Amino acid sequence: VIGKLKVFRILSERYRNRRKRFRLRFNLIASLYNLELK
């Protein structure tokens, strides 16, 4: 799980400057991921 979170961070940082919409999608995915962890 931690490894996947690291990958998500890398993807978010990589696309943060290019697409802000992608970051919004990433936040939604991250929130859903956190709910699954709980």
pLDDT at 1 (0 to 100): 65
One pLDDT digit (tens) per residue for the chain, 38 residues:
677 778 888 777 776 666 667 678 888 888 888 888 77
Rounded to two decimals, the pTM is 0.40
- Report d(CA 33, CA 38) in Å as an integer: 9
Closest CA to 4 of 22, 23, 26: 26
Contact between 12 and 23 under an 8 Å Cβ cutoff? The reply is yes
d(CA 29, CA 27): 5
Q: Give the whole-angstrom CA distance, residue 36 versus residue 10.
A: 21
DSSP 17: T
What integer pLDDT is reported at residue 3 of this predicted model? Answer: 77
pLDDT of residue 19: 64
